[in-house]
Chains A and B, each alone.
Chain A
Amino acid sequence: MGRYVLKRLGLTAITLVLVSFAVFAAAEVLPGDVGRTILGPYASQQQVDQLTHQLGADEPLVKRYFTWAGNFVQGDWGTSPIQNVEVRPLVLERLKNSLILGGFALLLIVPFSVALGVFAALHYGKALDRVISIAGLSFVALPEFVVGVVVIVVFAVQLGWLPVSSQVPEPNPVDIVRQCLLPSIPLMFVLFGYISRMARAGTIEALRSNYTRTAVLKGLPRRYIIVRHVLRNALLPTIAVVSVQVGYLVGGLVVVETLFNYPGIGQLILNAATGHDLPTLEASVLMIALIYTVANFTADVLSALLNPRVRLAT
């Protein structure tokens, strides 16, 4: 088991390094001078070149990467040329906000989706199963902004129950719900679609397996079979899916935060990309990649722990 963890850790580290280079390269090849963006279209080319040189933006790519990476690891993430603030506190602050929103969505929807997926599988073929399956299938297809605007129109504009745009909530449950509920609904729709389908498929496969047949032929009570024999094996693949959802979640956050004007990291990325704010962009995307890889790693280790075949292999 230990060896497995170490191996995954190593692979994760390598992936992160690759990602950091990719992020850096992608961001840096965005055409459009940084200098030009800062100074505007009316500055002379000479002034632009001077500023660009000052910012160190004309050195070779690889050298700039190592400079950047070195600084990054030491905690110096640079300054945003557009907003004129230090990048690190900005990014971390926004990240925290997004984690609140994302965490809220996950907390609400994951147990619910899993339960419904398992439930659907246990009633396979019957009406309830069809309803849940089709709901899952449909929800996963709805783009976040579609659900978002519908939800805004209905609950914020027409009914006025919740605010049209959201702010960072106070640390009390009421305000958290007030600010985070509407924005998380679009996220929850898609999450429900994926997770319930995975849970359902995993449960169906476990129900059809030979070991379930053995348990039934041993005359064990139905509830015991489901809880003890089926669920363990059924939910193993679902864990892997949940971690992938974290990755999706971040993408969804870009849209949702824009729609609801929520000061999160998704919105930051969008603005940084369109505004050519390179340090902010690189730092934000890298942080997201970090979150995603950590989530993946945790999921891998978790499913290895739960799967005796992997756990016991030295």
Chain B
Amino acid sequence: MSTTERQQAVRIEGLSVAYRRRGRLLRVLDDVSFSIGAGEAYGLVGESGCGKTTVAMSLMRYLPDNAEVEAGRIMFGDEDVLTATGATLRKWRGDRMAMVYQDPGTALNPSIKVGEQIAEVYRFHKGMSRSEALAAAVEMLSTVQISAPDRVVRRYPHELSGGQQQRIMFAMALATDPDLLVLDEPTTGLDATVEAEVLDLVEQLRTQFDTSILFVSHNLGIVARMCERVGVLYAGRLIEEGPAGELFQNPRHPYTLALLRCMPRMGMSKDVDRLDPIPGSLPPIGVEIAGCVYADRCPIARDRCRAEPPAIEPVGAGHGARCFYHEDVPRIPPRERAAEEQAQAEAADGGVLLKVDDLVKAYGSGANQVVAVAGVDIEVGRGEVLGLVGESGSGKTSLAKCIVGLLDPSAGTIEFDQSDVTKSNRDREARRQLQMVFQNPDNALNPSHTVRAILRRSLELLAGVRGKDKQDAEMDDLARSVRLEPRHLDVRPASLSGGLKQRVAIARSFAGNPSMVLCDEPTSALDVSVQAAILNLLVDLQRRHGVSYVFISHDLAVVRYVADRIAVMYLGQIVDVGPADAVFEAPHHPYTEALLSAIPTLEPDAKARMKLHGTLPSPAEPPTGCRFHTRCPRFLGEVCTTVEPPWQATADGERYRCHIEPEELARLQAGDVEAAPAGGAPP
């Protein structure tokens, strides 16, 4: 690939890595080559199984025992990482090369104070004494914007929030001003607003430290925001590489194009657009493939592609794609028709199906009580999709479980189809009508049962279909409706991919022809390309059967795509509710505003981010007055601290809880007025 004139921090040449499993050698990386310039941020993207984590680990040469480097060099400066001695590696790690990865909660030693864990780096790489190192640690803590660093330095990891923990990881990594920083999904698992803060931090640190960065992520938006150059991995091969903006605006490999096309973007809606999933699936690991590795799924594959593996062809300045026919790529049409004419089974204004009234759910008692849901009112109409948005601590999961009948609410009522279903002991009819699709398809299907057995049970209990023959007949219809094949029925879930498992889970919920299905993050655990297929399926099913959904997701673009109306939750309350496009446009609740600005976008013309102050308060001790006041950038003053905000209504049918009236709020939010200082939030 192209090399720049300035010095390169890292150069990977022809890296091939395989894992030994049960005696067989399975190749995970095949001849991967790229380089990262000094001070440059390089993004490595791909879906699960593409090998990007292996690349990151190889850079630090921290591979498991059953990994074998089959070929290649990793030049770090003048030396090859892969052949360096143990002593050299130990010198480099933590000093010249550092890493931050996922799940900071487990990455920090629970028995050692946080300050000391940072100080270790100074002691061993800079030869400082204990006290000097600790002082340096305190300073580093303020560099990563942790407030009250002298207090935090004496804390243990479990006393800090996820965002703070990740900052500690950054402090450790950057303590010695390394030449290379490897980031492996550093924000996965963090809330959207926290994620945005961490990414802000990374941007800021870059100006201070001038470190080269390898940013590994499955999230294209983040990579587009943070990196100058991007490489796309597919099945262990680098299939496209180029400047970030150029690559995302003008992709030249069919896979990159397909990946971009299957992601829901902000503004897309099911009524107008259709997502474009990628057909087929990843080739199994360890199988030798003659020709191009993507050929089986490629819409423009020709005979040459299947016979001969393509080399990287230059496309433009610093931009290359591993495809013989890359010039044809921009002309590939979308697979699915843009707006399908779908007859709706029922008109969307079919009356109210679900009515939740002042629902409260509290856990524990006395002093230890935590109120997860603090008085929530919701209405969902027939055939309507309500999107539910909220971060951790918002109470959306508890609310969902109460609605569907897995938990008993502490107070309030739930009315479904005009009957009271507040308690969780419901009759068969209520169960049939109100079902749920869970987040994690690995967990949601019993691993010991075959798919047929799982569906059979649902058919019997929900649809009342008795007798094996009748059940089998119904099952064929059910499977077909979620695009499962008969051969998928007689296996156990472990043999199926994530997407197929989720289809089984969906089939299971639809077995009794429900009128409402609660979808709890149904696509969050799936790859982007699979997500599109499942979303399409859910939308189709909704249209065909006139089902209502309560659709929970942390991904705002997905919610916007699927939902007719949206409700935003914060600390157990609904703060914003209304038609989907109304909620996502000003005027809307400041929290909604912050959530929207936190989304890393692929568009090059992003607005300045709206930052929230402080950290999320604990649901056990919610703030007085407006619960959001401790973090609100539009904090007014004492009224927000003492008085609970009233419901305001906008012209387009949206309602939100705030002391600022719609006209004023619209003016503030349109003009991008700089936010007010922190609302009395504790550090």
Contact = CB atoms under 8 A, between A and B. Distances in A.
Q: Do A and B come from one complex?
A: yes
A121 to B, nearest CB: 14
Given A213-B62, A308-B156, A308-B158, A219 B109 contact: no
A209 B121 CA distance: 19
Contact of A210 (B89, B103, B112, B159): B103
A312 B156 contact: yes
A232 B106 CA distance: 15
A209 B105 CA distance: 11
Interface in B84-101: 89-95, 98-99
A308 B120 contact: no
A261 interface: no
A219 B158 contact: no
6 contacts: A213-B62, A218-B93, A218-B120, A220-B124, A229-B112, A233-B110
Contacts of A210: 103, 106-107
Contact of B110 (A211, A220, A228): A211
A211 B106 contact: yes
Nearest to A208: B64
Interface residues of B, number: 29
Given A216-B93, A218-B93, A309 B121 contact: no
A307 B157 CA distance: 12
B159 A219 contact: no
Interface string A69-101: 000000000000000000000000000000000
Interface of A: 125, 209-211, 213-221, 224, 228-229, 232-233, 306-309, 312
A309 B109 contact: no
Nearest to A212: B109
A240 B91 CA distance: 38
B302 to A, nearest CB: 45
B172 A218 contact: yes
A15 B109 CA distance: 35
Contacts of A220: 90, 94, 120, 124
Given A213-B62, A217-B62, A309 B93 contact: no
Contact of A219 (B94, B110, B169): B94
Contact of B92 (A216, A219, A224): A219
B202 interface: no
Nearest to B109: A211
B265 interface: no
A35 B121 CA distance: 77
Contacts of B89: 219
A229 to B, nearest CB: 5
A309 B159 CA distance: 8
A213 B108 CA distance: 9
A217 B60 contact: yes
A214 B158 CA distance: 16
A211 B65 CA distance: 18
B125 interface: yes
B117 to A, nearest CB: 8
A307 B110 CA distance: 8
B111 interface: yes
B25 to A, nearest CB: 19
Given A211-B109, A213-B62, 9 more contacts: A209-B106, A210-B107, A214-B172, A215-B109, A217-B99, A220-B90, A229-B112, A233-B109, A307-B110
Interface string B509-552: 00000000000000000000000000000000000000000000
Nearest to A215: B109
Closest 6 CB pairs of A and B: A219-B93, A219-B94, A218-B94, A211-B109, A210-B106, A308-B156
B20 to A, nearest CB: 13
Contacts, number: 70
Nearest to A313: B158
A211 B103 CA distance: 11
Nearest to B96: A219
A100 to B, nearest CB: 35
Contact of B112 (A213, A228, A309, A312): A228
A116 B89 CA distance: 29
B47 to A, nearest CB: 23
B176 to A, nearest CB: 9
Given A217-B99, A219-B91, A211 B124 contact: no
B529 to A, nearest CB: 29
Interface in B58-93: 60, 62, 65, 89-93
Interface in B140-157: 156
B124 A221 contact: yes
A290 to B, nearest CB: 32
Given A220-B94, A308-B158, A214 B108 contact: yes
A215 B120 CA distance: 9
A50 to B, nearest CB: 58
Instruction: Determine which residue in A125, A213, A218, A308 has the highest number of CB atoms from chain B within 10 A of its CB, and name it.
Output: A218
Contacts of B111: 232-233, 306-308
Contacts of B103: 210
Nearest to A307: B111
Contact of B98 (A217, A224, A307): A217
A265 to B, nearest CB: 38
Contacts of A307: 110-111
Interface in B589-631: none
Interface in B340-354: none
A221 B158 CA distance: 25
B279 to A, nearest CB: 37
Contacts of A217: 60, 62, 93-94, 98-99
A215 to B, nearest CB: 7
A194 B144 CA distance: 46
Nearest to A214: B107
Contact of A309 (B90, B92, B107, B156): B156
A308 to B, nearest CB: 4
Contacts of A216: 62, 93
Given A220-B120, A312-B159, A213 B107 contact: yes
A217 B99 CA distance: 7
Contacts of B94: 217-220
A221 B120 CA distance: 11
B484 to A, nearest CB: 37
A221 B90 CA distance: 7
Interface string B229-270: 000000000000000000000000000000000000000000
A303 to B, nearest CB: 12
A218 to B, nearest CB: 4
